[in-house]
Chains A and B, each alone.
Chain A
């Protein structure tokens, strides 16, 4: 068991800087998910932690120990790969035992650990099979088993669920969460799937272009995204964005002329913006109220999921589609004009210049996360 500390780490591939001065502390026993679009550097960061790549600058600590120059083996970490990377020419038993044999552990201890791990993951009957003879889910469990037997100070997961079908993915997600509770180990988990990140993480690190955009609990990220990128990345369907210009900051309220919506009041302190400043306003589809309200939407198409409905359409004079959400089945048709409302306390406001969030007034923020 150990904590992890990443201190001003930079990684270059040739002239390309893929990790740009990243620092992160992971507490002992914490489940941290690195999430971001492909090419954001999350996998590279994980491989730096594992020691599969050398850092260009900065240090990595496991516990109190600086492991920056240590080999993967010396870091006492275990890793589950996207492709599982099971040794195809070895039986499941050999796969589990290989790492322990390399450590020159005695035979009895190896057998004990292998059977304990097999027991824990329900692999007892598969021990003498080759990976080729296993299903995707079984292979995934062997890969996890190979990590467990090492009794590592930390687990690293590199998109371990992306090769499973949707149903198995949900199930395995649950199993990994259970495993974390059982082992109480530090886990760092990489995924591009924000649903996985939201459901599994104690804390999420959103990465983009080699930097950390935001670090926080799933709800912090959902309710108070630090910038436009995080706002757009977390949450499904994607947050709706509207360009706006501040028209007035007088009288304690800020109003802005918003493309497609007209003049609206914003939930931000009046001293945080200047007249004429460019803003971006965001609102999640699930926070829109369809039926009544000052705004008009021309429906393009809808997706009915039975229990809920997503409606896609256009505002007058806006090219981009926006998404509305209804909590039940809702019948409409393309070309129909709908009225809707955007509750002011659910609006997210970002500065267009640096794309950062402008903190909302505290009164309005309360209870926004239900």
Chain B
């Protein structure tokens, strides 16, 4: 740790000696009271250029057509992109839609979100409760479950693709117990099953950590008081642990939903591009492919889909804020 500190110190010191002079000059001109704006400026510029400016541009894109990236070369087409996305004879059957890929992606994403969120919540909650309960080795197991969180999605996708390979370890175990080999990634059911399973494997350590922090914040004397009252265990869980954990679980739930809606990287690598067929093509992949990975780059259509996804995420965020307020 001290080494990290001193290394950081040297790096920062070196950089800083270059920028100290302009900063001091600016201070002499504008006075110390206005310096906070100078300190915030670089950050605000980056946010402005790469976050707020794009939000504005997103709307322009969504209302223009053509395949040009430069805004001035794009014809205004009003709501056409949205009409194209949303013209469906039956919203539950993607192939009846004009932009059927979008609706397949929506349908896949909805199922993915529902199953991943519930699975993740269950696994993380159980793991957190177990980690809270044990007295020895908590740090070790917490670290073990957390480790995958730090891996890159590409690595996770490849590691699991190899594990699930036709000639992989899992198939060899299946053969060992007398079953047939399964080509998991060419089977619609199994590929979806593993996409969800790998997502849970990948991220559960993060949610476990948050839930565990919530559990450990519950004062122990409440449990002791309950024990003295002779409260049955399941009542302790439903009447003390769960209510006191609720604010925490709400945060986890909404965070999980917001992140799950944006599933892309690890699923894309694991399924080698969303296969078999379109079984694992999700919303972000649709946007990515519509805008960047097809021969005709439909930026407008992709933007319209982004706006739709952004609205969903915004609603989820507002729900979170509402629930957080209610919890207070």
Binding site for B on A (CB under 8 A): 54, 71
Distance of A54 Cα from B31 Cα, bound (Å): 13
Residues of chain A contacted by B32 (CB below 8 angstroms) = 71
Smallest CB gap from A71: residue in B: B32
Residues of chain A contacted by B33 (CB below 8 angstroms) = 54
Smallest CB gap from B32: residue in A: A71
Smallest CB gap from A72: residue in B: B32
CB-CB contacts below 8 Å: B1-59 with A: 31-33
Residues of chain B contacted by A54 (CB below 8 angstroms) = 33
Residues of chain A contacted by B31 (CB below 8 angstroms) = 71
Q: Number of residues in B with C-beta < 8 Å to the partner?
A: 3
Query: Majority SS of interface residues in chain B?
Result: helix
Query: Majority SS of interface residues in chain A?
Result: loop
Residues of chain B contacted by A71 (CB below 8 angstroms) = 31-32
Smallest CB gap from A73: residue in B: B32
Distance of A54 Cα from B32 Cα, bound (Å): 12
Q: What are 3 contact pairs spanning A and B, CB under 8 A? A: A54-B33, A71-B31, A71-B32
B304 to chain A, nearest CB (A): 47
Distance of A45 Cα from B170 Cα, bound (Å): 76
A54 to chain B, nearest CB (A): 8
B20 to chain A, nearest CB (A): 12
A321 to chain B, nearest CB (A): 42
Smallest CB gap from B33: residue in A: A54
The 3 nearest A-B residue pairs measured at CB = A71-B32, A54-B33, A71-B31
Smallest CB gap from B27: residue in A: A71
Smallest CB gap from A54: residue in B: B33
Smallest CB gap from A69: residue in B: B31
Smallest CB gap from B31: residue in A: A71
B245 to chain A, nearest CB (A): 37
Distance of A71 Cα from B31 Cα, bound (Å): 9
A104 to chain B, nearest CB (A): 11
Distance of A71 Cα from B24 Cα, bound (Å): 14
B27 to chain A, nearest CB (A): 9
Distance of A155 Cα from B31 Cα, bound (Å): 24
A13 to chain B, nearest CB (A): 16
Distance of A54 Cα from B33 Cα, bound (Å): 10
CB-CB contacts below 8 Å: B105-159 with A: none
B4 to chain A, nearest CB (A): 16
B9 to chain A, nearest CB (A): 10
B289 to chain A, nearest CB (A): 52
B94 to chain A, nearest CB (A): 59
A190 to chain B, nearest CB (A): 24
B38 to chain A, nearest CB (A): 16
Q: Mark B187-200, 1 if CB is under 8 A from A, else 0.
A: 00000000000000
CB-CB contacts below 8 Å: B250-307 with A: none
Distance of A71 Cα from B32 Cα, bound (Å): 8
B12 to chain A, nearest CB (A): 13
Distance of A71 Cα from B34 Cα, bound (Å): 13
B29 to chain A, nearest CB (A): 14
